[in-house]
Chain A
Amino acid sequence: DAGITQSPRYKITETGRQVTLMCHQTWSHSYMFWYRQDLGHGLRLIYYSAAADITDKGEVPDGYVVSRSKTENFPLTLESATRSQTSVYFCASNRLEGPQETQYFGPGTRLLVL
C-alpha cells in the first residue's frame, strides 16, 4: 500500500524558474489537497481538487497552478518561483474510515528558492 508519494523530496531552484511538484496517490481518492507549511503560519491550503478536472483555490493560491487530468495525480506548478515560496509542501488526500473522511499526507517536498 504505497499511499501518497511526492517528488522530488528536495528541490533547489532560482527565482523566476518554473517548478513542478508531483503528487501521486494509489487509493483512487476523490479529494486531494496541496498545503504549504511555514514557521509561524502552520499548514495553509493552496489548492484542492474534488475529482479529475475539478480544482478550486484555497487560502494562498497566488503564484501557483494545479491540474488534475487523472484521479491519481495532482501536480502543483510554481509558474515563476519567488523566495517567498521557499517552504515545505505537502500533498494530502481524503480517505474514508468508517463514517468519517480523514486526510492522509504525503512525505512532503522541501523547496528552496534562491
Chain B
Amino acid sequence: QKEVEQNSGPLSVPEGAIASLNCTYSDRGSQSFFWYRQYSGKSPELIMFIYSNGDKEDGRFTAQLNKASQYVSLLIRDSQPSDSATYLCAVKGDGNNRKLIWGLGTSLAVNP
C-alpha cells in the first residue's frame, strides 16, 4: 500500500515566521511531488510541484525534496494570516500512472 504521511497539526506560527510543513512517502519509485493549499470550504489549489532533489523556490514558498530519505517539505517564509489553510502533499508514481497519492493534510494557523 503506497502511502503519503503528513502531520495533521494544527501547526501554529506567528505572523512573519517561517512555517515548515513535512511529508514522507513510502513508494521509492515516486517521481513527482505536489503541494496544494486548501482553504476551508474550497477546493485544493496547486502551490508548487517538484521532481528533482534539492530546493525549488517560488516567491515566499520553497519546496525541498530528498528522494533518498523519501521526504518532501514546504517552507513558507514571512507567513501571513492569509496562509492559514490546510496543506496537502501529493505524490505521483513512476511510469505512465497519472494518479496521485494524497496525504491527509496539515492544518496551518498563522497568528497575527
Contacts and interface: CB of A to CB of B under 8 A. Distances in A.
B69 to A, nearest CB: 22
Interface stretch (B9-17, B57-65, B71-79, B96-104): B96-104
Contact of A108 (B43, B92, B102, B103): B43
Interface string B42-57: 1111100101000000
Interface string A38-60: 00111101001010000000100
Given A100-B51, A102-B34, A102-B49, A45 B99 contact: yes
A86 B37 CA distance: 23
A105 interface: yes
Contacts of A90: 43-44
A33 B34 CA distance: 16
A48 to B, nearest CB: 7
B87 to A, nearest CB: 12
A49 to B, nearest CB: 10
Interface in B79-112: 88, 90, 92, 98-100, 102-105
Interface of B: 32, 34, 42-46, 49, 51, 88, 90, 92, 98-100, 102-105
Interface of A: 31, 33, 40-43, 45, 48, 50, 58, 90, 94, 97, 100-108
Given A40-B104, A43-B88, A104-B46, 11 more contacts: A43-B102, A90-B43, A90-B44, A94-B98, A97-B49, A100-B51, A103-B90, A105-B43, A105-B44, A106-B43, A107-B43
